[in-house]
Amino acid sequence: MNRKPQARQAGAGTARFTPKEAVMPLTAQALDDRSRYLSREISWLAFNRRVLEEAQDPAKPLLERTKFLAIVSSNLDEFVMVRLAEVHALAHRRSIGGQELPETGNAPHLLEELRAEIGQLVADQYRCWHVDLAPRLAQEGCTLVRAEQWTTIDRESLQAHFRNQLEPVLTPLGVDPTKPFPMVANRGLTVAVRLESLDPSATTGERKALVAVPAGNRLVTLVERSGRFALSEDIVGEFLDSLFPGYRILGRCLFRVTRDGALEIDENQTADLLSEIENELSNREHSNAVRLEVATHGDQELRAWLQQAMALDAADLCPIDGPLDLTVLFPLSDRLDRADLRDKPLTPTLYPREWAEPFARIRQGDLLLHHPFQSYQRVVELVERAAEDPRVLAIKQTLYRVSATSPIMRALMRAARAGKQVTLLIELKARFDEATNIRWARALEEAGAHVVYGLVGLKVHGKLLMIIRRDDDGIRRYCHLGTGNYNDKTARLYTDLSYLTCNEAVGRDVAALFNMLTGYSQPPEWERLAVAPLTMRKRFVEWIRREADHARAGQGSKEGHRDGTGGRIIAKFNSMVDQGICDELYAASQAGVQIDLIVRGMCILRAGVPGLSENIRVRSLVGRLLEHSRIYYFANAGDPVIGIASADWMSRNLDRRVECFVRIEDEALCHRLKAILDCCLADNVQARELGQDGTYRRLRPAKDSDRRSSFDELLVEGAGSERPLEDDDGLAPLFTPRRKGE
């Protein structure tokens, strides 16, 4: 069932510069109001381009490059389902009735631009596969064998595999006036066929049908020699004849459709949010098609038929010369026992070392864990210990994205069954994790936990855990505040920070926030937290403007910036797409504030434009780990504000989500956070710098300069963080940089 597209904002300014224009230096006077900002959509795709560069990097181990190529496909799917779908809906509403709708803006032009960018990205991705990675894998004894390359032995064994493993679950679906075009699964692989009856007396003409390829592992090992694999979709396509006895197959076309991933829920009109989301998850699989990928060798008539059946424009059709959906490459690393083709294993440090009594350890002083360099297992063990400890009275936690086998969730269920008061706010609207969250919510309720299903009109994205325990000297609150989700799986792949404390001020703030989330109460005067959508934007603006005041007072001298009196801002986060914060940073730059932003993904801010942002530098770190930690530093004339947050500088984080920033006051932890930022700013291996025109330039060590990899140095830092040594400035150095030749 196709639904009418809903009007959704197409995003911040979409100005794009040609290479010729990019060469010309920009000035503030040369920019109109909209071109002050880069396109968020193009910036999102630019991040995926940086991921593709990792796959193209010959210095990386081969299987790691293959993994990055698969990540490109996964990322593009998300972009199509989330962002392209929104622009697609707006662009098509614009032409309805021939009337211009004001909310569509320049959506048709943007849609055309995004299609072109995606097309180029996909072409480069498959060029990398065909020209570089596939031949190199073949040299190492690993090959995806196309059907036309199967040997006689291959064909015989694969026909048996088809007969025994695939054919029993295949269902041919005819399409004719009595059998309407079926609902094709989102992101599933399907074979379309044209058929002709073998009965010479038949008068029905050609028939068309669809056969869905079974989901699951697509790599089928060939028996003749190890390291050779066939794809399940090729096997289905080759042996389809058995599904259509009495007919001749005239043409085949393998295809894949990507649909709008949004959930359309009116929360104010919903009595049962959980049931409504469950219904919408089914509707998502039936939502409007946005992109149609087809095999380049597929039947042309079938391609045209599929495009028409899915109500797509010709520009929405994406021919693919190679395996559709390169996420099929993810399992290759597991299939090949070749440690020499992978990165060296990352062995997280168990920090703190003494953790037999975690509550006693936290009472000794605040802790900061940097994942995955320092194991997330300590956070898991804290919840598990809380579930067992007879002194623990209650556990409160927010949960946004958790793994399907989460040990934290199992510990919370044990705590509830043991009679502890367990209160959980599970965000059912966490995009693409709704089904997992619903399953856990039901299981936790059955175990006796109090479960709150988010808030009307807001997503709860803050990462908060509070454990209330009866200690010898009274009841104490133990808090965990983080930048990442309580997900033991992604904690191995994402860089994130965990702050553990029993500080009374933090405990009062976190308790007040939980009371607001689960009940009815007025917001307090926060002592250590800034909370979105209540105070976080206001605090960030105040801190930015205060740096501008310091810059004006310090006259912008280099010495002033060094000691913090001249205005200094460093921030590390995922995305920068809020125009209001951009404007504040532009103003601070013009006042002389030196600003460094470490932005992993989207960034609409133009850096380095004379008269506008000449004192702003933006870099992106893309490498082995997904940069996910959020750290904010404001020098404040030598009395810095520094802390971690769950929020990026995005409008949705500041205005439409419940987010949490916690100011860190422990001096050693402040020094450690600043050292992490400085390490990221010194990186000349993983880093790219953003130019005025929105393009990124990869940094390389200068001749005779040290190689500075933030990954390598933070790995050392994570292992040595319990051995603080004083440096020349009286700060504890958290790592020893590797020097050239060492």
Q: What is the pLDDT of residues 311-327, one digit of tens each?
A: 999 999 999 999 999 99
| Mean pLDDT value across residues 508-529 | 92
Supply the pLDDT for residue 357.
95
Supply the pLDDT for residue 731.
34
Instruction: For residue 587, give the CATH number of its domain.
Output: 3.30.870.10
Question: Among 7-16, 511-520, 695-704, which is the least confidently predicted range?
Answer: 7-16
Amino acid at the residue 374: Q
Instruction: Evaluate whether 699 touches 686 at the Cβ level (below 8 Å).
Output: no
Tokens of residue 290, six digits? 């946005």
> Does residue 67 share a domain with residue 26?
yes
> Does residue 467 share a domain with residue 586?
no
Supply the pLDDT for residue 282.
61
Tokens of residue 508, six digits? 């009062």
Supply the pLDDT for residue 18.
30
Of the residues 88, 461, 561, 671, only one is catalytic, namely 461
Q: Left if phi > 0, otherwise alpha if psi is -120 to 50, otherwise beta: which for 729?
A: alpha
> Does residue 333 share a domain with residue 418?
no
Q: What is the pLDDT of residues 184-207, one digit of tens each?
A: 999 999 999 999 998 887 767 789
| Mean pLDDT value across residues 87-91 | 89
* Domain boundary residue, one of 313, 341, 369: 341
- Taking the C-alpha atoms of residue 579 and residue 570, their distance in angstroms, rounded to an integer, is 18
Question: Among 150-159, 409-418, 546-555, which is the least confidently predicted range?
Answer: 546-555
Supply the pLDDT for residue 543.
98
Instruction: Evaluate whether 214 touches 166 at the Cβ level (below 8 Å).
Output: yes
| Mean pLDDT value across residues 347-374 | 95
Task: Please report whether residue 350 resides in a domain.
Answer: no
10 Å CB burial of residue 598 (0-12, 13-18, 19+) is: buried
- What are the backbone angles phi and psi of residue 250, rounded to the nearest 5°? -90, -25
Which pTM value belongs to this model? Answer: 0.88
> Does residue 650 share a domain with residue 560?
yes
Q: What is the pLDDT of residues 667-688, one digit of tens each?
A: 999 999 999 999 999 999 999 9
> Does residue 554 share a domain with residue 499?
no
Largest interatomic CA distance in the chain: 95
461 is catalytic: yes
Instruction: Evaluate whether 643 touches 531 at the Cβ level (below 8 Å).
Output: no
Q: What is the pLDDT of residues 225-269, one digit of tens each?
A: 889 999 999 999 999 999 999 999 999 999 999 999 876 555 554
Tokens of residue 190, six digits? 């399907």
Per-residue pLDDT at 29 exceeds 90: no
Nearest one of 566, 542, 546, 533 to 659, comparing CA atoms: 533
Q: Which stretch of DSSP H or E encloses residue 560?
A: helix 558-563
SS3 158: helix
Per the prediction, the chain carries an average pLDDT of 87
Supply the pLDDT for residue 8.
35
| Mean pLDDT value across residues 359-382 | 97
38 beta partners = 15
Is-cis flag, bond preceding 724, omega within 30? Answer: no
- DSSP alpha helix (H) spans, 628-728: 651-655, 667-682, 710-720
Instruction: Evaluate whether 292 touches 257 at the Cβ level (below 8 Å).
Output: yes
SS3 617: strand
The CA-based dihedral angle spanning residues 403, 409, 410, 412, taken in that order and rounded to the nearest 10 degrees = 170
- What are the backbone angles phi and psi of residue 604, rounded to the nearest 5°? -95, -10
Q: Which stretch of DSSP H or E encloses residue 370?
A: strand 367-371
> Does residue 548 share a domain with residue 513?
no
In terms of residue numbers, what domain contains 676?
Answer: 532-720
Q: What is the pLDDT of residues 540-563, one digit of tens each?
A: 999 999 999 999 998 544 545 555
Per-residue pLDDT at 707 exceeds 50: yes
Supply the pLDDT for residue 274.
61
Percent of the chain with pLDDT over 90: 72
10 Å CB burial of residue 464 (0-12, 13-18, 19+) is: buried
pLDDT band at 2 (very low <50, low <70, confident <90, very high): very low
> Does residue 282 share a domain with residue 308?
yes
> Does residue 420 share a domain with residue 511?
yes
657 beta partners = 459
Supply the pLDDT for residue 27.
67
Q: CA 721, 722, 727, 729 torsion: positive or negative?
A: positive
Percent of the chain with pLDDT over 70: 85
Task: Please report whether residue 738 resides in a domain.
Answer: no
- Taking the C-alpha atoms of residue 249 and residue 256, their distance in angstroms, rounded to an integer, is 20
Per-residue pLDDT at 577 exceeds 70: yes
Tokens of residue 431, six digits? 């995009």
Instruction: Evaluate whether 659 touches 675 at the Cβ level (below 8 Å).
Output: no
State how many domains the chain has.
3
User: What is the end-to-end Cα distance of the chain in Å, rounded?
Assistant: 63
Per-residue pLDDT at 281 exceeds 60: no
Q: Which stretch of DSSP H or E encloses residue 570?
A: strand 568-573
pLDDT band at 14 (very low <50, low <70, confident <90, very high): very low
> Does residue 555 share a domain with residue 511?
no
349 beta partners = 374
Which DSSP symbol is given to 215? S
Nearest one of 691, 591, 690, 616 to 26, comparing CA atoms: 691
Supply the pLDDT for residue 519.
87
Per-residue pLDDT at 72 exceeds 90: yes
Question: Among 299-313, 547-561, 616-630, which is the least confidently predicted range?
Answer: 547-561
> Does residue 336 share a domain with residue 380?
no
* Domain boundary residue, one of 288, 314, 341: 341
| Mean pLDDT value across residues 376-404 | 95
Tokens of residue 571, six digits? 């921030």
Nearest one of 607, 544, 532, 608 to 570, comparing CA atoms: 544
10 Å CB burial of residue 241 (0-12, 13-18, 19+) is: exposed
> Does residue 178 share a domain with residue 327?
yes
pLDDT band at 4 (very low <50, low <70, confident <90, very high): very low
> Does residue 333 share a domain with residue 197?
yes
**CB neighbours (10 Å) of residue 34?**
14
Instruction: For residue 315, give the CATH number of its domain.
Output: 3.30.1840.10
Per-residue pLDDT at 210 exceeds 50: yes
Amino acid at the residue 205: G
Tokens of residue 589, six digits? 């730059």
Task: Please report whether residue 1 resides in a domain.
Answer: no
